[in-house]
Amino acid sequence: MARLPYIDPNQAEPRVAEALAKAPDLGVFRMVANAQRAFPAWMRFGGALLDPDELDPLLRELAIMRVAAMTPGADYEWVQHAQVTLDVGGTQEQLEAIKHGELDAEVLGADGRLVVRFTTQVVHDASPDEATYAAMSARFSPRQIMHLLLVIGQYMMLGRIMATTQIDLDPAVGAGALQRSRQPRRDPPPTAR
């Protein structure tokens, strides 16, 4: 049982209720919504981190999965993003390699191995070693590296929220639900009178 209550959208501030209405019905969103002033901006930030034009979605998910694997109590993050990883082209073998800390596994591919090694060092040591940073700089643009750092930081924070609040597990919703939550809702066209 979660340590904090999940926000009921019907009892939330209007802008929080509006943000929740755009999100998949997941406990993580209703939990973070307790921070009612910060929640709408946090949702926009989280949506921006899912932009496939900023970083390859599979590399992003491999990084998220590595953060989840390294964060005790982040089972919720693992369950949700394992399905997203598969949805964006990842494999069960890649998930197993990450879960077991096999950072040099061939199944990760060259870019995947580099991103997972970078993520591991950022989470564990706050900064990658010089060789890993040089390899990242040779392969990825400053924009992509910064985006990856923001992804790592976001999911480190979420893992700690999940562990601290002991959030209840939800069934995985997959990439489709997360992508739909990024799109603005459109009101239906007015009906003719």
Domain parsing of the chain, residue ranges: 7-49, 54-176
Q: Distance between CA atoms of 54 and 50, rounded to whole angstroms?
A: 8
Buried-state track 74-102, b at ≥16 Cβ within 10 A, e below 16? bebbbebbbbbbbbbebeeebbebbeeeb
pLDDT in tens, 138-156: 999 999 999 999 999 999 9
pLDDT in tens, 11-40: 999 999 999 999 999 999 999 999 999 999
- Distance from the Cα of residue 60 to its chain's centroid: 8
Work out the number of other CB atoms within 10 angstroms of the CB of residue 52: 11
Tokens 């953060």 locate to: 67
Q: Which CATH number fits domain 54-176: 1.10.1040.10, 3.60.15.10, 1.20.1290.10, 3.40.50.720?
A: 1.20.1290.10
Q: pLDDT means per 10 residues in the chain (193 residues)?
A: 95 95 94 97 96 97 98 94 96 98 97 98 98 98 98 98 95 75 41 36
Q: How far is CA 151 from CA 61, 73, 109, 183, in A?
A: 9, 19, 20, 19
